[in-house]
A and B are shown apart, each in its own frame.
Chain A
């Protein structure tokens, strides 16, 4: 079973990214595949390496980066949504990449399930 994950909200102000991360991590732990996570709308802010949250809280962006490093998850940020919001290659966290909406559509075509996290 392959899950594609769509994250539509930014970190901290909304739980969507936290829920998506916990879903992805748990799915992988249980033996399912999560080949790709796609970040859209304000979800692109999850990719910024400029975020420096307080040390006693979770680091949402870094947590995604680590999940990608540990399990080869492809973290894709929508180019059009990113350009609107000032997210460029220069501010991307580790293992994030910027690409087009086709990468989202491909998840819907190729994977067994596409799960959306957002409002």
Chain B
């Protein structure tokens, strides 16, 4: 009974959740709604990693200004992630290179990984959710 109660709210079980962010911040809703899932997962005290790859790295670009497209600018949420104990942020080196970007172009501190390192990190996860 008590085991079942624990299962119901997930308390006591900590799994490794990886959120794979592959899409540009605007143009589709995936990045914005994906962030909501990341924050809730952290609220459940899970081990959260965020990966930014392909156009997903544009989510972390400095100087985003959404006035011209009249949509909500949620980029400051990435800076607040630390406050939710979400500190494992990874960026794919090849995706940076392909877009002529470096870590200095990003608004938060990240760990840049090679494809092989990324594959190893992914293999360690219990749950991978891709947005």
| A-B residue pairs in contact (CB < 8 Å), sample of 28 | A40-B37, A41-B29, A41-B30, A41-B33, A100-B40, A101-B36, A101-B37, A102-B44, A105-B10, A105-B37, A105-B40, A105-B41, A105-B46, A106-B8, A106-B9, A106-B10, A108-B17, A108-B41, A108-B46, A108-B126, A108-B129, A109-B44, A109-B46, A110-B7, A110-B13, A114-B127, A116-B129, A116-B130
Interchain CB contact under 8 A, B40 and A40: no
Interface size on A, residues (CB 8 A): 19
Q: In the complex, which residues of chain A have a beta carbon less than 8 angstroms from the beta carbon of B40?
A: 100-102, 104-105
Tell me the nearest residue of chain B to A100, going by C-beta: B40
**Distance in angstroms between the alpha carbons of A116 and B19 in the assembled complex:** 12
**Distance in angstroms between the alpha carbons of A119 and B33 in the assembled complex:** 14
The reply to whether the CB of B62 lies closer than 8 angstroms to some CB of chain A is no
The reply to whether the CB of B15 lies closer than 8 angstroms to some CB of chain A is yes
Chief secondary structure at chain B's binding surface: mixed
Which of A40, A109, A119 touches B10 (beta carbons < 8 Å)? A109
Tell me the nearest residue of chain B to A119, going by C-beta: B30
Q: In the complex, which residues of chain B have a beta carbon less than 8 angstroms from the beta carbon of A116?
A: 129-130
**Distance in angstroms between the alpha carbons of A118 and B20 in the assembled complex:** 13
**Distance in angstroms between the alpha carbons of A81 and B33 in the assembled complex:** 8
- For chain A, residues 77 to 119, give those with C-beta under 8 angstroms from any C-beta of chain B: 80-81, 100-102, 104-106, 108-110, 114, 116, 118-119
